[in-house]
């Protein structure tokens, strides 16, 4: 037996109204079409469901036996569809993003605020993590996309560069030399007491690569994970930090100064997605907003 939900609804509706005209109107079909559909239902079931005369319609004994089951099935189906739609609605309003901490703070607030204004029920989860962890979360399908920088090709990922961001020096206002470096020179920068992020971070890889490219060792005096901690040590006179501009701007205060030498290394910032998966509609919409917000980093 292969009855569709629509056929069951027609049976239940006609059994309740006992009127071909009202049932036909309810389903927006002609009465001859309804008669044909009822015959098809009866043929599929294998019994007559209605006794029809020119003046009346009534359920047969078999129809009486089946109407309760049909009513329950259609009710459960409608309830299931409603629950399905509700779960689907909630899923379409969920978004998970992995982003470098600096980009989470400097790029995402405006797009997320705009999304929340348009979709107040949307739930957004942001993982502010370094690049390697962001890519791990993406591969594990725990996030929809990542906002970060990658410097190698990954066969399973797509990378769309949206902006290039330069590196700068963050020093205390009392530092005697950092503010005098107007043109980037690995020799001059390397002579400073440098504070940087640890190995495995994109920031560290970019700066190390610049020094290695000149045949020079990169020997920072301090390694710290947290930008706020880096700023505290810089302000205390422990050294000069080499940071992406967005990171330096995030912790800048009256006791610190940013120096932006010409020709400094740059990092690529972009959106990373899984190559084998189409973006959910909400994530695709967010990508457009992120492009606009991130492009401002290259203009500061």
The predicted pLDDT at position 111 comes to: 94
The predicted pLDDT at position 289 comes to: 92
Q: Where are the domains of the chain?
A: 5-90, 95-299
The predicted pLDDT at position 91 comes to: 61
Residue of 115, 160, 118 lying closest to 274 (CA atoms): 160
Place of tokens 């906002």: 147
In contact, 258 and 173? CB cutoff 8 Å: no
Place of tokens 């967005």: 246
Residue 35: count of CB within 10 angstroms of its CB: 13
The contacts of residue 33 (CB under 8 Å, 6+ apart) are 24
Which residues in the chain land under pLDDT 70?
Answer: 85-92, 298-300
Total residue count of the chain as it appears in this document? 300
Q: Where are the beta strands (DSSP E) in 15-129?
A: 50-52, 57-59, 94-99, 123-128
* Cα distances (Å, whole numbers) of residue 102 to 149, 164, 169, 232, 234: 12, 14, 16, 17, 18
Q: Give me the CATH topology for the region 5-90.
A: Arc Repressor Mutant, subunit A (1.10.10)
The predicted pLDDT at position 251 comes to: 93
The predicted pLDDT at position 94 comes to: 86
DSSP string of 130-183, one letter each residue: -HHHHHHHHHTTSSSEEEE--SS--TTEEEEEEEEEEEEEEEETT-SSGGG--B
Residue 292: count of CB within 10 angstroms of its CB: 13
Chain-centroid distance, C-alpha 42? 50
User: What gap in Å lies between CA 133 and CA 125, rounded to an integer?
Assistant: 15
The predicted pLDDT at position 224 comes to: 94
Whole-model pTM: value is 0.66
Residue of 235, 270, 247, 269 lying closest to 168 (CA atoms): 247
The predicted pLDDT at position 88 comes to: 64
The predicted pLDDT at position 287 comes to: 93
In contact, 31 and 48? CB cutoff 8 Å: no
The contacts of residue 167 (CB under 8 Å, 6+ apart) are 203, 206, 207, 242, 243, 244, 245, 264, 265, 266, 267
What class, spelled out in words, does domain 95-299 have in CATH? Answer: alpha beta
Place of tokens 């089946």: 66
What phi, psi does 57 have (nearest 5°)? -135, 135
User: What gap in Å lies between CA 35 and CA 52, rounded to an integer?
Assistant: 10
């Amino acid at each position: 037996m292969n009855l569709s939900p629509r056929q069951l609804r027609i049976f239940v509706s006609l059994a309740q109204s006992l009127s071909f005209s009202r049932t036909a109107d309810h389903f927006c079909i002609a009465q001859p079409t309804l008669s044909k559909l009822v015959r098809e239902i009866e043929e599929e079931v294998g019994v007559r469901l209605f006794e029809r005369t020119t003046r009346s319609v009534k359920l047969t004994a078999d129809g009486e036996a089946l109407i309760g089951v049909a009513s329950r099935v259609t009710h459960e189906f409608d309830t299931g569809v409603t629950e399905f739609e509700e779960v689907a609605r909630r899923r379409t309003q969920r978004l998970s993003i992995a982003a470098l901490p600096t980009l989470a703070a400097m790029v995402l607030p405006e797009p997320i605020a705009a999304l929340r204004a348009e979709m107040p029920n949307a739930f957004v989860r942001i993982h502010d993590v370094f690049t390697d962890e962001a890519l791990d979360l993406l591969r594990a399908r725990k996030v929809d996309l990542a906002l970060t920088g990658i410097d190698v090709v990954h066969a399973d990922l797509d990378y769309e560069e949206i902006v290039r961001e330069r590196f700068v020096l963050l020093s205390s206002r009392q530092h005697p030399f950092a503010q005098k470096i107007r043109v980037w020179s690995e020799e001059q920068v390397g002579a400073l007491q440098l504070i940087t992020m640890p190995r495995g971070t994109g920031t560290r890889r970019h700066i190390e690569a610049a020094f290695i490219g000149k045949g020079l060792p990169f020997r920072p005096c301090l390694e710290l994970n947290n930008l706020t901690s880096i700023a505290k040590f810089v302000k205390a006179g422990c050294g000069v930090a080499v940071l992406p501009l967005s990171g330096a701007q995030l912790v800048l205060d009256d006791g610190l100064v940013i120096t932006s030498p010409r020709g400094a290394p740059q990092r690529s910032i972009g959106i990373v997605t899984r190559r084998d998966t189409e973006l959910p509609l909400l994530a695709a919409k967010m990508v457009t907003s992120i492009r606009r917000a991130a492009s401002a980093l290259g203009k500061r």
